[in-house]
Structure 1
Amino acid sequence: MRTLIQGILLAAVAAAAVTAPPLQAAEQVFFSFDDHSIPLQHNLKLTLVPVTKHPDNPVLRRGPAGAPDHGHAVLYGTVLKEGDTFRMWYLGMHETENKSGQAAGWWRPMCYAESKDGVHWTKPELGLYEFNGSKKNNICLIESDLYSLTRVNDFLSVMHDPEDPDPSRRYKCAYIAHQPFEDVKGGRSKIGPNEKRWGAFVCATSADGLTWKVVGDRPANAGGERFEVSGLYKFGDFYYGTGQLLSPWVSRADGSDVGRVMLAYRSPDFVTWSKAKAFSMARPGQLANPPAKGQQMHMGAGLWNRGNVMVGLHGMWQDAEAKPPKGESWNYGVRIDLGLCVSNNGIHFREPVAGFPMIARGKEGEAWDDIGILQGHAFVNEGDKTMIWYSHWDTGGKLKTMEIGLGTLRRDGFGYVSNQVAENEAEFITTTFTGGKVSLNVDGVTADAPLTVQLLDHLDQPIEGYEVKVTKNGLHEAVGFAKPLPAGKKVALRVVFPAGSGAKVYAVYVE
């Protein structure tokens, strides 16, 4: 069985490696909520659109007793679509030590699932790892000379890197391992409390996404501070590992304490990582004076690389209103929704609308996802929809319905701009770009109230012969200029909404 499954997957991976587009996509996306890509606006308002939850949620459930994901099945992980197959890497949970030498904390094995529609999932018997006396399970194999580096304890992020010339490195992942201090080659910083385990930022590579080899003999953050990595992507010339920390390992700019915030490390080669880190994002209330009570950012963000921009969902943590009752979990009463974030440099992220829940937890006591929502790196554009997978976290520690759900949006429909004062004209101007074909993700346009699209030079002056009316709606409605854009010249777009327009512009695309 293992030979058959491995052969099929390796063949699919090989084909994907040949046909997959480069990571830095040929298409630039100027989202309506991205005020760096669309910096100049007049009489426009931004409306974010919350995700619609699938009626069959949760779409991937935990396994039966004895399965590696019986404790829970959570999208501390990733969903990618390759060819006609959705591939999911997620974490199960095993509550007891599987071998001598395991670091403290639950072992959360890297599990694998597949789907043809993103809704109905199968858990193939990979035959790679013996669990409860059998290899008939969906656990991926992680290999290293140091056993504690192979034990995933928390968040997992997988990326496909088809541009890597080494086929054995075309899948990359990062995860947290709670290593014993004595296992940390290269030492660690003395900042922070004297814990019994260390938050290790571990990297691994794979040819097929199923059998993994740890990079090197130590964590990426060896010699530095603990780090709870939760994200991995390539942007420009660097790989980035993002995740969370809180004081005393990180502070606000003035040195004062801060709760959970997102940090980023980077590497040019996926082997050597920066010791210095970037303060990537905090929720606005965390940086206020005084800080908003109980507001934190949970586990950085689940991220989607769109070539010229990073978009994602971050955990909007809110502390419990009171201390946990005696005998309850330390984070009993914590509630988490997911908010939208965006970055134009792969390092610094921001919320387009502070505090807006793109995926809100369900109604208390009634919904399967009513306590805390967990983000994954799980975004796929499929047909006319953007599909987003997420998980539920029972912060009370009872593992209640900790499974995986699906939400959808209009394709790239996270939000739109429209006339703020309906009876007045409105407009926006994009950042500059060079060459290419232009199209709009737009709705609400009519023949009687079309959008006017002008091409501007780098000094905002209209270029003669480049003005058209857009009268049709669509997810990728072409802007039909009469001639190709000027080659090699920096240009921008002005999009004008007439008075009384009901148009909604979700995104501008430049191919």
Structure 2
Amino acid sequence: MGSGQFRAWYNVKNPGGEPSLCYAYAESDDGIVWRLPDLGLVDVDGTSANNLIDAPQGHFGLFMVDDGPELSDASRRYKMAYFEQGLADNGNGLCVAFSADGMRFSAFDGNPVLPQNAEDGSNVISDIIDGCWDPIAGRYLIGCKIEQSGYPGRPHHHAQGWRRCVGITASRDFLSWDKPRVIVTPDPGNGVEEFYGLKPIVRGNLYLGFLRVLRDDLSATPGGPVEGIGWTELATSRDGQHWTRHQETFIDRDVRPGSWDHAMAWYADCVTVGDQEYIYYGGYSAGHKVGDREVGLATLRRNGFVSRDADATRGTLRTPPAQLPGGRLTVNAMARGELRARLVDAEGQGVPGFDWSDCVPVRGDSVSHPVEWRGGSRFPRDRILSLEFSMDRTDLYGFDLAETHPHDNN
């Protein structure tokens, strides 16, 4: 959105045409109504009047990143990673391409940068990839589909004993990638379970992963054809390498027959817009390999992905001790009761002026409640301290430490 517009790059199929798989571009002023501009760059079926970008065609998967106009090598400002099959000389694997304008890409001469070189195709990167920039570690992250064997049974669209799992790989330069690490495998108690990749993002000091669950052995409509269903779950990590899966549904399909997302509801990406997250997801109407595929929008409060909740019985939450950055505190919370915060020293004692009794109670619903104490709103920075929250009937989504307050006039 650095241009003032919402911009989207995506993978599209061109059944019966050539090339059969393409990369396309769309733009929007509000993130809701989208335009497909006539780029005139790629000839498909005898015409270039389309919204396709000039990039390596005929491949699955897409991770796109804009490193901004400040990048020293302007020719590599826009980076894309994709999965290529059938390379004549170097085999299958993760490939990359670069562009100065996001519309015309040149493939890297050394592709594939991460070969799919296992003889049996197991435990190596496959054709579903999603990525992000990791500002914590200063690297690019890709969540990818990993094929594994040795499981009981046969999925509807796979070989006997095989499952689609999830791996993670990282790179500091977009060229040298780690060997993928398997991070999510099927739960034996969930039947013939598989995954269609994981999209990682970073919020604050938390890594979030949006896990696409696939059940190819189930029908979208009771008694109907078995063509598979899918939904999205969350996974979390503190280092981007070791992940915890949370099996509650985050984005669910619409169980009503005839709905556009009746079979699958798989996360694509999200953008923070004001106090909301705009979450884009792919909906499949009939099943994994059949029916229509479209893109939909869901909304969520800003950074409302996970929360710590307290009911009428008051609960407390304390952070590990640290030299806290910034001097002012805001909380993202829905406080139907109230929330208070205090500073705690290394001995577990409240800091005078910043203890429970000094805190002005926080009430109501806001993504940035200011927290005030009798000792002031700017707390000391030169000491090792913990933050402790006390709350009842409150959902706490997160907190932020900054030099200025959202309600400051300066």
TM-score by length of 1: 0.67
Residue 408 (1) aligns with residue 299 (2) = yes
- Size of the aligned set, in residue pairs, is 371
Name the counterpart of 1:154.
Answer: 60
- Structure 2 matches for 1:96-107, cutoff 5 A? 96=16, 98=18, 107=20
Match of 2:31 among 109, 113, 118: 118
Residue 84 (1) aligns with residue 10 (2) = no
Q: Which sits farther off after the overlay, 200-209 or 459-468?
A: 459-468
Give the direction of change, closer, same or farther, for the CA distance of 1:431–1:116 in structure 2 (3 Å limit): farther
Give the direction of change, closer, same or farther, for the CA distance of 1:399–1:154 in structure 2 (3 Å limit): farther
Residue 279 (1) aligns with residue 163 (2) = no
The Cα of 1:171 is off from its aligned counterpart by: 2.0
Do the aligned partners of 1:184 and 1:218 also contact (CA within 8 Å) in 2? Answer: no
In 2, Cα distance between the equivalents of 1:390 and 1:209? 22
Give the direction of change, closer, same or farther, for the CA distance of 1:264–1:249 in structure 2 (3 Å limit): farther
**2:75 counterpart SS class:** helix
Do the aligned partners of 2:330 and 2:371 also contact (CA within 8 Å) in 1? Answer: yes
Give the direction of change, closer, same or farther, for the CA distance of 1:398–1:296 in structure 2 (3 Å limit): closer
Residue 204 (1) aligns with residue 97 (2) = yes
Give the direction of change, closer, same or farther, for the CA distance of 1:321–1:133 in structure 2 (3 Å limit): closer
The Cα of 1:309 is off from its aligned counterpart by: 2.2
Name the counterpart of 2:130.
Answer: 231
**2:208 counterpart SS class:** strand
Q: Which sits farther off after the overlay, 384-393 or 167-176?
A: 167-176
In 2, Cα distance between the equivalents of 1:379 and 1:319? 26
Residue 335 (1) aligns with residue 335 (2) = no
Deviations 1:188-221 (A, max 9, x none): xxxxxxxxxx4x2111222222222222332122
Give the direction of change, closer, same or farther, for the CA distance of 1:242–1:471 in structure 2 (3 Å limit): closer
**1:350 counterpart SS class:** strand
Name the counterpart of 1:442.
Answer: 333
**2:114 counterpart SS class:** coil
Match of 1:475 among 342, 355, 367: 367
The Cα of 1:170 is off from its aligned counterpart by: 2.3
**1:168 counterpart SS class:** helix
The Cα of 1:97 is off from its aligned counterpart by: 5.8
**2:253 counterpart SS class:** coil
The code of the aligned residue for 1:217 comes to G
In 2, Cα distance between the equivalents of 1:428 and 1:152? 51
Residue 304 (1) aligns with residue 204 (2) = no
Residue 216 (1) aligns with residue 109 (2) = yes
Indicate the RMSD between aligned Cα atoms, in angstroms.
2.7
The Cα of 1:240 is off from its aligned counterpart by: 2.0
The Cα of 1:379 is off from its aligned counterpart by: 0.8
Q: Which runs of 5+ in 1 are unaligned?
A: 1-80, 100-106, 143-149, 188-197, 251-256, 323-327
Match of 2:352 among 453, 464, 469: 464
Deviations 1:204-247 (A, max 9, x none): 22222222222233212227345224112232132222201122
Give the direction of change, closer, same or farther, for the CA distance of 1:432–1:136 in structure 2 (3 Å limit): farther
In 2, Cα distance between the equivalents of 1:152 and 1:344? 36
Do the aligned partners of 2:13 and 2:22 also contact (CA within 8 Å) in 1? Answer: yes
- Structure 2 matches for 1:30-429, cutoff 5 A? 81-96=1-16, 98=18, 107-142=20-55, 150-162=56-68, 164-180=71-87, 183-185=88-90, 198=92, 200-222=93-115, 224-225=117-118, 226-228=124-126, 229-235=128-134, 236-248=137-149, 259-274=163-178, 276-283=179-186, 285-286=187-188, 292-299=190-197, 301-321=198-218, 332-351=226-245, 353-354=246-247, 356-376=248-268, 378-393=269-284, 394-395=286-287, 397-400=289-292, 402-420=293-311, 422=312, 424-429=313-318
Deviations 1:144-171 (A, max 9, x none): xxxxxx2343221212223643222222
In 1, Cα distance between the equivalents of 2:108 and 2:367? 41
The code of the aligned residue for 1:316 comes to V
Do the aligned partners of 1:240 and 1:264 also contact (CA within 8 Å) in 2? Answer: yes
**1:466 counterpart SS class:** coil
Do the aligned partners of 1:427 and 1:494 also contact (CA within 8 Å) in 2? Answer: yes
Q: Which runs of 5+ in 2 are unaligned?
A: 119-123, 152-160, 220-224, 403-410
Name the counterpart of 2:405.
Answer: none
Per residue, is there more strand in 1 or in 2? Answer: 2
The Cα of 1:371 is off from its aligned counterpart by: 0.7
Deviations 1:465-502 (A, max 9, x none): 223233343211122241533335443210001xxx32
Between the two proteins, what is the percent identity of the paired residues?
22
Deviations 1:273-296 (A, max 9, x none): 22x32122235x24xxxx532122
Give the direction of change, closer, same or farther, for the CA distance of 1:231–1:207 in structure 2 (3 Å limit): same
**2:303 counterpart SS class:** coil
Do the aligned partners of 1:435 and 1:486 also contact (CA within 8 Å) in 2? Answer: no
